[in-house]
Structure 1
Amino acid sequence: MAALALALGSAVVQADPATRAMEAARAMEAATEALQTANRQADRIDALTQTVQAYETGLAALREGLREAQLAEAAQSRRLSDGSAQLSRLLAVLIGTASLDDASVLVHPEGALAAARAGLSLRDVAPALGTEVAELREQLEDIAALRRARQYGLLALEQGLAAAQEARLSLSQAIAERGPLPKNLSDDTDAMATLAASAASLDAFAESLAARDAPLSDMAAARIRGF
């Protein structure tokens, strides 16, 4: 039972991308410090391993967040398509109604007054439905922007991971062959900038997930933050 509880607990933790993103951001900050202070060969290997693991944790969180954004975008696209189709049908009815002559209107089962009321009702509904469709389209644009931001963040983390893995491999080979050691990753300005930017991006991603239950109209704030 204890093992089952532990497994279930692990599953819960793994299912929380916000927690993993924050953990990865803190791990990246710790890895940055480790890279800057590592002098011995073993310490440099450990620091690079720590960096690789931080990137892998961050990537797992971002991939799940990207899947969520893709699913939300698909669902919103369906809602927009349904709303647009409904609006098109309503407009077609209104156009058809406008083309009727007085004699045709008078054949309404409940008389001319009922026909007029029906036409007014349709005209009242059309603007509201049009507004709803416009809001759905705006929300879809917000979700699409969110998805693109997560894709860009994912690409940046993948590049950072590749650089850390390459640095660790080069160092391990140099140690094994007793050859000259490659420069420390902490001396690579671009790599360290990527590490710092990745930590900041993961923090922003975690913050955006905390607000994911907010109304869709509030998603513009998350888009400004980048995730």
Structure 2
Amino acid sequence: MIRLAAILMLLAGPVAAQSPSDAATQAAARLAAARVQLDAAGGSRDRVAALTETVRAYEDGLIALRDGMRRVAIRRDTLQTQMDARQAEVSQLLGVLASIGNAPAPLLLLHPSGPLGTARSGMLVADVTPALQAKVGDLKGQLQELALLQALQESAADTLGDGLQGAQEARAALSAAVSDRTDLPQRYTEDSVQTALLMASTDTLAAFADALADSVDVAAPELIPQGDLALPVQGTVLRAYNTADAAGIARPGVVIAARPRALVTTPVAATLLFRGPLLDYGNVIILEPAQDVLFVIGGLAEVYGEAGQVLPAGTPLGLLGGDLPDVDAILTAGTPGTAPAATQTLYLEVRDGQSPVNPGTWFALD
């Protein structure tokens, strides 16, 4: 058995790097870098900006790791299926190698018919050896890759656990940093009584947003829509503008699917007009990025900031709701045929001159 293993090692060539394992390894490195960012954010001059980048880094790393492990699982299943299908071929190949390894080298080339037969047998062995080497190399490469993928899957639980814990710490630190922030300019001071009266007197999101904009008399900058703004949350458009939902209700905005506890940020510098619960939209943020233009963002579980503040682009607005899955659930969701991880939704509506417009006019919806 030792002799056979030595033959396999000598005949087989190096294993080429495989993209699924590379993806998982790189994702783990991104999570490790996010931990370094989190440790350094406490001493940053702008803790909010540093922690915002850290939360984003954790989100990107976890998404990449989930995708990498999904690809690892697919590749491992493919290799296992191929190995199972080659059982007979592998057994035959091992038998041939065992017989070659057990026989003295001179006897392999002798032939009963004499020198001519011996010469022919030598030529035959010379012709067969390269093909045998190629099969052994292919088999060894697959076995090594299968072992690597198995090791990656076994270590993924610890990596995911550390990543989830780090992301939770970063979110908590960000919430605290936003609460302690005092450096944002205040364009106006909110009249909480007037806001409460507006909420009580309106029964639609559009009416409230328009009435709120009319009640706030502040100058806003000019801004030309280019259709290139990033979405407030990392996700994909689930329902397009003015598209009816399962209940047949069409809303003048888009619905974005995202992962639980995803960070929501302002895509451009804007004045915060309102933050808080409103109707059936959950917590709502209303921003005024330009004169007579409103970005209405609904569905948050937590909201940051105070009405009247002027927020720079990329400022955290809050977090989506939902429960973070545990490590086993994430690893299971990384296998083919299971439910997607984007279980939360964010509503985005754009109003220009008290009329809704397609958010694609301002945002890159792709």
TM range, smaller chain: 0.3 to 0.5
The answer to which structure, 1 or 2, has the higher relative contact order (CA under 8 A, 6+ apart) is 1
Q: TM-score of the superposition, structure 1-length normalised?
A: 0.38
Q: Which has the larger share of strand?
A: 2
Q: Which has the larger share of helix?
A: 1
Q: TM-score of the superposition, structure 2-length normalised?
A: 0.26
The higher radius of gyration belongs to 2
